[in-house]
Structure formats: structure tokens, C-alpha cells
A and B are shown apart, each in its own frame.
Chain A
Amino acid sequence: MSRFRPSGVWGFILRRLLLGVVVLILVSILVFLATQALPSDPALAILGRSATPASLAALRRQLHLDRSVIDQYWTWVTGLLHGNLGTSLAAQEPVTTLLSPKLVNSAVLVAVAAVVSIPLSIAIGAWAALKRDKAFDRTSSNLLLALAALPEFVVALVLVIVFATTVFHVLPAISTVPPGSRPWNNWVALVLPTITLVIAVAPYVARIMRASMIEVLESDYVEMARLKGLPERTVLVRHALPNALGPVFQVIALNLAYLAGGIIIIEFVFNYSGIGGAITEAVVNHDLPVVQALAILIAAVYVILNLLADVATILVTPKLRTQL
């Protein structure tokens, strides 16, 4: 009996989606085990000194701790699938209500940073490869290396000092998003956090782009294309660039996924209300439903971004595409 194996790009996407679901199921089991099943008594851990027998019993009921482990997991996962992430223990409101504005804020910041940093870093990397060992290449390589070495909060603080508090006073030093408004309502406040994130991500992408492009430019098929007498422009845009982008997409995906969970420092420095701050607060508050929801969410972002990167790599790489 031949195995069912959907083929082509769509088949590949389907297979990767199914794999992603498997990964998420495994992650959900891990998250559940680590937060709820393994601690001997999460209710006691949450309530600490203020625990009374009555409040412990109430919390155990709320978290379904009075049921079997399998039953608890099933209740949690089915709730998750129905968009019911439970009730935050600290805020006493549904986790979805609590997190969705923060989620939008973080997503906007990451998206803006991605839209700016991806074309920019690809352009810098590609140009540096073309001008290999020339002034632009050397300057950009050293500069990017230096920027990559700086921790994000240092970059953020330097930007704040230069543009907001000390040298110039042209941009707001903090980017608080008032409740009820959206980040784009006050886009000026997004400028400094965005630049910080671009500086955090762009060096890696630009450097991998440069390396990848150099490799491609030295390849036989580029030489072939040149020998064929194709205009240099066509050689670069039609033949070199698509092939060079493959590895870059992977790096972009990893960097964006990192941003999804890693913009916490940026959120702190700019007092930007996003999920990074929500994670820390939830951990400090032992707010189990919020911690679980965010862990699953960030895992899902990783899976989706990697899937997108793989698909994009396949699409730009004819060799891989035809193998499917």
C-alpha cells in the first residue's frame, strides 16, 4: 500500500503545517507539565503566605487541580482550541481580554521593525557583496559588527539620549500606548523603538545576506550567465538574488521569532505595553493561565515563522522547488 504523500508546494505546506501542529501539541504538553502538573501544589505556590484553606480550595477548583492530570490537560487544551485561555489570577479578567491589546501592540512593533529592517538589511548585504572589499563593504561590515555587539538596551538608551532627552528633543523618550488607543495613533512614539529593533536585527540579516550573495556570485551558474552575455542587472536580479535569499529567510524568521518573545527589554526601556512586560508580570504574579497562554503563543509564532521561512526558501530556490 503506497503511503499518502501530497506533492508539490501545497503538499509541502500541508506537511509542514501538520508537523507544526505536532510540535505545538508537544509544546503544550511541556508547558502544562512544567507549570501545572510538576509543581506539587500550584495553588499553594500562587497564594503563598496569603493561602487559607478556603482560598486554596477555591483556586484548586478554578484551575481544575482537583481532577486527574489527564483531565486537567484535556480541559486546558480544549479551552485553548475554543479560544478560552482561562481567567487571569492577578487581573481577574479573561486572559484574552488582558492580552489582546498587548498582543496587537507587540505585533505592530515587530511588524514595523520587520518591514523596515528586512529590505534594508538585504539591500545592505547585497550591495556589500557586490562591492566586496571596497570601502562600502568594509565600512558596513565593521559598523554592523559593532552594532551587533551592542546589547539592545544600550542601543535604546543611546538613541533616547541622542534624540529625546539630552542632545536633541525631537522624539518622545517613552512610547506609552494609552488604553483604548493603538500604537499607530501616535506613530512618532514608535520611531525610537523601531530603530532599536532594526539595529538589533539588521546586522545578522545583512551579514548572512552578504555571505550568501558572495557564495552565489562565485557559483558556476552566475559565471555561466555572465559568459552567456546576460546584462549584469539580469544576472543579479534573476539569477543571483533569488538563490542568495534562501538562507537569509531562515535568519529573518529566527530573528523575528526572537523579537516576538525578546522585545521585553525594549518594552521596558520605552514603557511600551506589550507581551514582554506581560510575561514578566505573569511570572512574578504566579499568574498560571497567562504564563501558559503566552508560552503557547510564542511557540506558535516560532512554528509559523519557520514555516513561512521554509516556504519562502523553497519558492525562491528552483532546485528545492522541483524536488518536491
Chain B
Amino acid sequence: MTDVSRRQLLVGAAGLAAVGGLAAACGSSSSSAPSTGSTGAAGAPKRGGSFRLGVTGGGSKDIMDGQNIITKPDQARLMTAFETLLLFDENYQLTTNGLAESVTQDNPKQYTIKLRPGIEFQNGKTMTADDVIYSFQRIGTKKFGLTGYAATATMDIAGMKKLDKYTVQLPLKSPDSTIPQTLGSYTFNIVPTGYQAYPHPQVGTGAYKLKSFAPGQQSVHERNPNYWRSGQPYFDTVTIIDFSDSTAQVNGLLGGQIDAMTDLPPSQVKVVQARGMGALVSKTGGWLPICMAIDIPPFDDVRVRQAMRLIVDRPQMLQQVASGYGFVGNDLYAPFDPGYDKALPQRHQDITQAKSLLKAAGHANLSVDLHTTNGAAGMVETATVFANQASAAGVKINVINDPNFYGNQYLKLAFSVDFWGTRAYLNQVQQGSLPTSPYNETHWPPKSGTGSNFESLYNQALAETDSTKRIAIMHEMQQAEYNVGGYIIPFFGGLIDGYGAKVKGLKPSKGTLNLDSFGHGFRTIWFG
């Protein structure tokens, strides 16, 4: 597996519990039947046409699996044919507009999932509780290596029970209030009993059926005439085309060979708009942290960490690295989480203070290596801009762009730039800020002093069913990270996608996936 794809997996994992309202609202089946055929300024949706999407980041490693992704085109493919129990809307609020009518927390260690009756898979088989149990078992089987596996740690999958044809009981091994987010994350799709990855038949509940697939080149998807949301989808076919380079993507969009593209370069936004086409700018929770390992010199001294955090000019970083598409960060992650602590004062650049902190720590002429790689757009730029800003404080930062960054040294480095996707706070903690986390760059939490109780606070938060009390615990955790943590989070980036003039129905989304979660699985968009 390449370095890049490891990170892509990581971003994929971000979908495991992407940011959103915490569980509380979800227990009550708050929503009416899902609305279809949304109208608006764009006019009423129209049927017909072949939609062609250009996606970068794919290659011969492309796969099609209803519960797994490796590359970015895989994300788009997944969205054509497979659906989740709960659904995030474009504001990243969890809704019951998915395959489940309701997901209820019976007690801290048990959930009950009630399916929407009568939904059929693409082969005509009705979706039932058995399929849900099979889907969870498949994700929870470690050797399959599916994206969602890590999120099944708290689930007692072997103990899942079918209560009736459309009702499933999900017991937990330990309390986990993030289960609803997990059920809404895009790799937690429901597949029919016996399902296997391509080249086996790809059968989901989604709006399009797989017609052909050539990894590294393209896949073609046909309209599912029996789709359960009446009226949808609108296109006859969807074709997902791999691009190796964004120049060709932009040209293809301008020349009319594709109808939409992922990851429009910021410099091309005006070009595309000038031609009457659209640039969909979505403010997501993706971030590129500068990571300081809190147990490796010189960053084992909290004064050095604070000095580094005071060196960053966050608005300038946002402008130079992301062309201003995004919003300034405050060294804390998960900004869309209701538990995000907005009360903590925004950090600003303060070179004088940084200098005096460094002097007090005995590092007045600090010189340090900052490791990174061309893993995600902006990583190297973040390192370079930071090195520039640091020189104002007399700190010499030597940026090392290492193609093998994710090789042996990763997670052992004192100072590095990494990247993460959108997640809810507690899910992010589980992934990156605990001794047991798979990708803990900063070696948080500390063994003593402020923050040493971080892990026990995390466990308390997972077990707490009262959302007000849980948020109070999360605030306490964030205060520790804000005061003595190892992350510098200069800004949260955005996604910019391009689309042709006749594509209607796209809305900016806070989700992890491009193009408004690929037009909600290519079913909420149409040709006007």
C-alpha cells in the first residue's frame, strides 16, 4: 500500500463518524418520510441524461466495495449503489432519512435499529434485519480490512439480535454515544446477506446499478428503476472517470467532456465561473495540523509548544495555503461538533511573547526539522509557510519533504505536518489523541500534570448519555489540549468542486465527501 493511499484510508475513516450533532436527536425518530424531488431556485428536477464525473486520486488500486474505499473515485462509486442507516444532511446534522426509520438508545449499552419497511435491493430482494446483521458482521471482521472496522470496537456484533423482520438490536461491549454517527458514516453501508466486493455482483439499495468497471479508468452506473425514493434518481447513467491530473480535469469540464469534477484548484475558480460554470465551495472540517510530539525535545517543554502556537499567523496561513477557502482554527479539532469549545479565546500571532517563551525555555536560537510529504494538498505549503513565519521569531525551521514520510519514521517524529478529515470530537480523539489511537502524532495525553486525566475523561464522555453533561466533559478535555497539547491547527480547509452550467441541485456541504456527498449518491442532482 502506498503512503498516499494510507492517508486516503485515513480520510475514509473520517467518514466513520464525521462531524455532526451528537446522538441525542437521533434516538427520537424525529423526521418524516424523506422528501424527494427538492425544488428551489434551480427549478423542478428533470429526468434523463448521462452524467460524467471526473475524479483525481484513482489508479489501478481502485475497488468497488459497498463498505470500503481505497481511492477517491472509490468514494464516488460507493455512493452510487450503497446507503447507510442514518443520513447526514448537507449541514452535517444526522437525520433519519436513511434506510432506518429510527435508531434508539435503549440504555448506555444497547441500541435498537428500526428499518424502513419495503425497501428493495437492486436485485429485487427486500432489505431486512438479516441484511443489517450481515453488514455489521462483514465490517466487524478484521481480516476483511474494511474502512469501518475500527469503529466496531465497542459493538457486540456477535450479540446482535433480529427482533422482527425490520428490527435489530445492537448491544455494545462498552458504552459508546457515538454509535449514531458511525451508522451515518459513508462506509457503514447496508449490503445484502452474502455480499462480496467487486468482481462479485454489486447489489445495494442505492440509486444506480453497476454496469461496468475498469480500475484506474472508469466505471459506468445505470439508473435503478426500482429505487425506493420515488422520482429519484434523475440521470440515466453515471460515469465516473479517473483523471491523473487536475489540468486535464479542468480542461475536460471547460470543453464539455465531463459534467463535474472533484477538487477544483483554487486558482481555477474564477476561470470556471467566468465560463458560466459553477464552483461548489464547501467549508469542511478537514485540517492540516503541525504536530509536536509532547515527549520529544524540544517540544517536551510546554513553553516551546506554546511559542510555536504563537508564531503562526493563522489568517495568512489560510490565505497562502488554501487561497482563503476555509476558516481559521484555534488548535482544536472537530469544529462542527456541538461539543466544540467556542469559549476558548482565539489564538493570534504574538512574536514577542513567543520569543520570550523560547528564551525562558533556553531555546532562544531554536533550529528544528519539520517533516512532511506531498500526501494531501497543502501539507508541504503549510510547512513552508510556517517555516517562513517562524523566522520572524528567530526560529530556524528546516522543512523536510520526505516521500517516505509514512514509512518507518511516521508517528515517531518530533515535528511533522500531517492531515485529517472531518470527524466528531470523540471519534477524532479515539483516532488520534489516546495512547491506543492508531495515528497519535503528538503522543498525547501527557503522563502527568494538566491533561493526564484525558483518557479517563474520554471514557466518561462515551458513557455519558446526557448530552449537556457530555459536552461539559468534552470542554474539559479540549481545555487541556488547548493549554498544553501538541497540535497547531492553523485553519480548517474547504472542498472546492467544479460543475457544468446545466448541473442543478448541488448545495455546499460540510461533509467529508466532495460535491455535496457526490450529489447525495447522484440522486439529488439533475440536468436543468
How large, as a class, is the contact surface on chain B? Answer: 20 to 34
CA distance in complex: A50, B60 (Å): 18
- Establish whether residues B6 and A268, one from each chain, have CB atoms under 8 Å apart when the complex forms: no
CA distance in complex: A122, B407 (Å): 52
Contacts of B2 in A (CB 8 A): 48, 284-286
A30 part of interface (Cβ distance < 8 Å): no
- Establish whether residues B217 and A268, one from each chain, have CB atoms under 8 Å apart when the complex forms: no
A104 part of interface (Cβ distance < 8 Å): no
Contacts of B252 in A (CB 8 A): 173-174, 176, 271
Known: A88-B60, A172-B257, A271-B244. A48 touches B407 (CB 8 A): yes
Known: A49-B407, A284-B4, A285-B59. A91 touches B216 (CB 8 A): yes
Distance between A262 CB and nearest chain B CB, rounded to angstroms:
16
- Establish whether residues B245 and A169, one from each chain, have CB atoms under 8 Å apart when the complex forms: no
Interface residues of A in 1-42 (CB under 8 A from B): none
CA distance in complex: A164, B60 (Å): 29
CA distance in complex: A153, B248 (Å): 11
B437 part of interface (Cβ distance < 8 Å): no
- Establish whether residues A173 and B257, one from each chain, have CB atoms under 8 Å apart when the complex forms: yes
A133 part of interface (Cβ distance < 8 Å): no
A235 part of interface (Cβ distance < 8 Å): no
- Establish whether residues B217 and A273, one from each chain, have CB atoms under 8 Å apart when the complex forms: yes
Contacts of A166 in B (CB 8 A): 254
CA distance in complex: A174, B297 (Å): 51
Contacts of B254 in A (CB 8 A): 164-166, 173
A113 part of interface (Cβ distance < 8 Å): no
Known: A48-B407, A179-B218, A277-B244. A173 touches B60 (CB 8 A): no
A280 part of interface (Cβ distance < 8 Å): yes
CA distance in complex: A268, B247 (Å): 8
Known: A271-B244, A277-B244. A174 touches B214 (CB 8 A): no
Known: A172-B257, A174-B257. A50 touches B6 (CB 8 A): yes
Interface residues of B in 332-363 (CB under 8 A from A): none
Contact of A90 among B6, B61, B217 (CB under 8 A): B61
Distance between A275 CB and nearest chain B CB, rounded to angstroms:
13
Contact of A174 among B59, B60, B251 (CB under 8 A): B251
- Establish whether residues A176 and B245, one from each chain, have CB atoms under 8 Å apart when the complex forms: no
Contacts of A179 in B (CB 8 A): 212, 214, 217-218
CA distance in complex: A270, B249 (Å): 9
A269 part of interface (Cβ distance < 8 Å): yes
CA distance in complex: A104, B407 (Å): 35
Q: Digitize B482-516: 1 where CB-to-A-CB distance is under 8 Å, 0 elsewhere.
A: 00000000000000000000000000000000000
A71 part of interface (Cβ distance < 8 Å): no
- Establish whether residues A90 and B60, one from each chain, have CB atoms under 8 Å apart when the complex forms: yes
- Establish whether residues B59 and A90, one from each chain, have CB atoms under 8 Å apart when the complex forms: yes
CA distance in complex: A222, B446 (Å): 89
- Establish whether residues B256 and A169, one from each chain, have CB atoms under 8 Å apart when the complex forms: yes
Q: Which residue of A lies closest to B6 (CB)?
A: A49
CA distance in complex: A160, B6 (Å): 35
Contacts of A225 in B (CB 8 A): none
Distance between B479 CB and nearest chain A CB, rounded to angstroms:
32
Contacts of B245 in A (CB 8 A): 268-269, 271
A281 part of interface (Cβ distance < 8 Å): yes
Distance between B205 CB and nearest chain A CB, rounded to angstroms:
27
Distance between A31 CB and nearest chain B CB, rounded to angstroms:
20
Contacts of B255 in A (CB 8 A): 160, 164-165, 169, 172-174
Interface residues of B in 386-437 (CB under 8 A from A): 404, 406-408, 410
CA distance in complex: A267, B247 (Å): 11
- Establish whether residues B60 and A91, one from each chain, have CB atoms under 8 Å apart when the complex forms: yes
- Establish whether residues B1 and A178, one from each chain, have CB atoms under 8 Å apart when the complex forms: no
Contacts of B86 in A (CB 8 A): none
CA distance in complex: A302, B216 (Å): 27
CA distance in complex: A3, B218 (Å): 58
A180 part of interface (Cβ distance < 8 Å): yes
Interface residues of B in 35-88 (CB under 8 A from A): 54, 59-61
Interface residues of B in 282-312 (CB under 8 A from A): none
Most B CB within 10 A of own CB, among A47, A157, A178: A178
Known: A98-B60, A269-B247, A271-B252. A180 touches B214 (CB 8 A): yes
Contact of A91 among B6, B61, B258 (CB under 8 A): B61
- Establish whether residues A49 and B216, one from each chain, have CB atoms under 8 Å apart when the complex forms: no
Distance between A273 CB and nearest chain B CB, rounded to angstroms:
6
Distance between B441 CB and nearest chain A CB, rounded to angstroms:
13
B16 part of interface (Cβ distance < 8 Å): no
CA distance in complex: A16, B95 (Å): 73
CA distance in complex: A164, B258 (Å): 13
- Establish whether residues A165 and B59, one from each chain, have CB atoms under 8 Å apart when the complex forms: no
Most B CB within 10 A of own CB, among A49, A98, A284: A49
Q: Digitize B233-251: 1 where CB-to-A-CB distance is under 8 Å, 0 elsewhere.
A: 0000000010111011101
Distance between A299 CB and nearest chain B CB, rounded to angstroms:
23
Q: Which residue of B lies closest to A157 (CB)?
A: B247
CA distance in complex: A186, B283 (Å): 39
B324 part of interface (Cβ distance < 8 Å): no
Interface residues of A in 151-170 (CB under 8 A from B): 153, 157, 160, 164-166, 169
Q: Digitize A263-302: 1 where CB-to-B-CB distance is under 8 Å, 0 elsewhere.
A: 0000111110100010011001111000000000000000
Given contact pairs A173-B252, A269-B247, A273-B217, a sample of 19 additional A-B residue pairs in the complex whose CB atoms are under 8 Å apart: A49-B1, A98-B60, A165-B251, A166-B254, A169-B255, A173-B251, A173-B255, A173-B256, A174-B257, A174-B258, A176-B257, A179-B212, A180-B212, A268-B245, A269-B248, A271-B244, A271-B252, A281-B216, A281-B244
- Pairs of residues from A and B, 5 with the lowest C-beta to C-beta distance, nearest first: A173-B255, A179-B214, A91-B60, A165-B254, A173-B251
* A–B Cβ pairs within 8 angstroms, 5 of them: A48-B3, A173-B256, A176-B218, A176-B257, A178-B218
Chain B contact residues, CB within 8 Å of chain A: 1-4, 6, 54, 59-61, 212, 214-218, 241, 243-245, 247-249, 251-252, 254-258, 404, 406-408, 410
